[in-house]
Structure formats: structure tokens, C-alpha cells
Amino acid sequence: MKLFKCENCGSLLHFENRTCESCGYRLGYEPLAASLLDVDQQGDTWQPLSAPDRRYRFCANMDMGQCNWLVDASSPEHFCLACRHNRNVPNLSAEVNLARWRKLEIAKRRLFYTLLRFGLPLANRIDDPAHGLTFDFLADGADEKVLTGHDEGIITINLNEADDATREKMRVMMGERYRTLLGHFRHEVGHHFWDLLVRDKGEQKLEEFRAVFGDERPDYQEALNTHYNQGPPPDWQDHFISSYASAHPWEDFAETWAHYLHMVDTLEMGSALGLEVHPRIDPNAGVATELVGDPYKARRVEDLVDGWLSLTFAVNSVNRCMGQPDLYPFILRPGVIKKLAFIHALVHSQTAEAAPAPSKKYALAPS
């Protein structure tokens, strides 16, 4: 994620800002340009301060979902590029559901920032009814529990994950080192892109995948049952980014994909802040570095990893001073870096195909 600047007063802006805190100017995010624009209302449309010939509308989720993304005024769409992927949202008449859904939307928009920056294929369920990417944000029913997961482009997220206490309880119960809403989005979308960029690319791509992650053809549910009953192998840290990644190659890919997105997003913010790591004690200890200028354009995964190891060393050290757990409690060993390199090459091998704007309005359907 990068920082933005108010075009009116020059103040620092953040991705989620809807108005400039300094001058009060209204702001809207233009996703195709990855720009946060100062906008003036002109009747039913909004005019950018920096592009007076352009006109936009705000996403239909502007008020309910607090979405600050813009839609071109000439488009028939009511929802922005991110919100068009919503299929089901919870009953928003319940205040607790509304508050939790808004948290999910914040995480989802950060996910889409990264996917759009990489130019990854983003057909929604109207563009591609069989495999398009879509989201169901669902609350538990009286007799049915919602399982967070992925199925042929449909990503379901339990609304309870937006409750901090519930999510932390689940993290401890599952023996996880890390559990966040953004982490869920990045993990589950990893399954979707495995389908698109590996499975659907033919046998050669599958064999390349298997050479790095292992054979995905053994029964998935049986592999999960074995993982939950027996735990990970004792040497899992030598080969996997997390213990859960050791359960099955599909989960290994999704976990590694999520961490790749963690790295790129955080390194971009570190670079935007001008961060450098130069320990005063033993500056040759292997953690001194300047961060990658634009991690989205890094040619080698090693460039990302070098900056990431230095940055997380510094931030983890600072967190401990505040009595907080490590920001990044994971180890990147050579086997894991090899898998990150596979994903890096996979992402950068894609042609930047912008998904065509769907011809129909995507309405939200409360669950």
C-alpha cells in the first residue's frame, strides 16, 4: 500500500480516507489509476480537482459500506470494481452485522488494491458465471455454521471473523500464529488463482507446481483430517510457511500466496514511508538494507525477501518493546523462498488483462 497526497492542500492521505482531515476536501479512490482524488460535486456526479474533464459517481456502497471508490459516470454500473464481486451480504438491519460487514469491506478493498496493481484476471460472477470471483459474507444461522472457504471462485467468509474476540479465540484454538481478516482474503483468493493460473493452464503448469509444492492429487479431505489428527511433520518449518500449509499442496499454495501479498503490500508502505534498516550495533549482521522502491516491479523474489527480512526484524523488535507479539511471527527458510519465487514468477508471467466492465448491475442480495 502506498501513501497519497491531498491535491488541494498537500496533506498526507491514507487509502481509506473519505475526506482530507486537514482541509475537509471530499476524496474518492480511482482504482484503475490507483489514485485518491479530491472531488467536487457537480449535480449527480463528482469532478476531480486534477481532471476537470472527468466525471464520476461514488460506489452504491458509499454510505452503507463506507466505500470511497469511484465509478466512471458513463458506466451503467452502480458498484465499484471491488463491490461488483459481492454476491451475498448479511442482514444489514442488524447493527452488529453492519459494523462487521464494514470491517470485511475494508479488508476486501485492500485485497483488490493489490490484485489490480498486479493486473490479475478479475472476472466476477456475471462476467464468468462458472468461475468468476465472488464473495458471500454470511452470518451463522440457528442450526448452521458458516465455514470460511473457497469453491470454484466463490469465497465465503463467516461474519464472526470480523469480531476481534471471536477471531482471537479461533486463532488460539487452531494453534495459529496469525489470523486477520486481510489474511483470510489473501489466503482464500490464493485458491481462486491456483485454479486460474495453475490448474486451468494445462499439464505443464501443473507439473511445474508439483515440482515445488508437491502432488495435489491425493484426497484433500483425508489430508486435512490427517493434519488435524496428527499435526504437522516435525520439520515443517524447513519446508512450509505455516503448519497449516503442510496439510496439502493446495493449502501450501494458498498460504504462500497470502504471504507473498503480505510482503508486497507492506514493503510498498515501508518504501512510501522512506524506511531503511541500519542497526547501529553490528551493521554487517545481515539485516541492514534499503527497501525495494516498488515491490510490484521487483525482478527477483530475492529482492523482496531481503527487504522483508530486514523490515520484519526491525518491526518485530519494536513490537516486543511494547509487550506485543511479533508483527510477522514466521520464518522464511530456503524451501519457503523457493515457493515464493514460484508465485512471484506466476504473477509476473500474467499479461495485465483488465476485466471488462460487466453489462449488468450487480445487486447485493442479503442472506
pLDDT of residue 352: 40
Domain boundaries, the chain: 1-79, 81-193, 198-357
Instruction: Report the C-alpha gap between 305 and 133 in whole angstroms.
Output: 29
pLDDT at residue 365 above 50?
no
Q: Label residues 343-365 b or e (16+ Cβ within 10 Å = b).
A: bbebbeeeeeeebeebeeebebe
Compute the mean pLDDT over every residue in the chain, rounded to the nearest whole number: 90
pLDDT at residue 156 above 90?
yes
pLDDT of residue 354: 39
Range 280-292 average pLDDT: 64
> Phi and psi dihedrals of 325, rounded to 5?
-70, 165
Considering the chain, what percentage of its residues have pLDDT values greater than 70? 92
pTM of the model: 0.90
pLDDT of residue 123: 93
More confident position, 196 or 350:
196
Grade residue 277 by pLDDT with cuts at 50, 70 and 90: confident
Contact between residue 26 and residue 39 where contact means Cβ atoms under 8 Å apart: yes
pLDDT of residue 144: 86
Of 38-47, 209-218, 299-308, 344-353, which gets the smallest average pLDDT?
344-353
- Whether the CA torsion 197, 199, 203, 204 is positive or negative: it is positive
Instruction: Report the C-alpha gap between 331 and 288 in whole angstroms.
Output: 18
Grade residue 142 by pLDDT with cuts at 50, 70 and 90: confident
pLDDT at residue 355 above 70?
no
Instruction: Report the C-alpha gap between 150 and 187 in whole angstroms.
Output: 9
Grade residue 366 by pLDDT with cuts at 50, 70 and 90: very low
Instruction: List the beta strands (DSSP E) in the chain.
Output: 4-5, 12-13, 27-30, 35-42, 45-48, 56-58, 70-72, 86-89, 134-138, 149-151, 154-158, 276-277, 289-290, 365-366
Range 67-92 average pLDDT: 94
pLDDT at residue 41 above 80?
yes
Q: Which of 155, 106, 148, 105 is nearest to 132 (CA)?
A: 155
pLDDT of residue 288: 59
Considering the chain, what percentage of its residues have pLDDT values greater than 90? 78
Which residues, other chains included, contact 280 with Cβ-Cβ below 8 Å and sequence gap of 6+?
none
pLDDT of residue 281: 66
Range 87-104 average pLDDT: 93
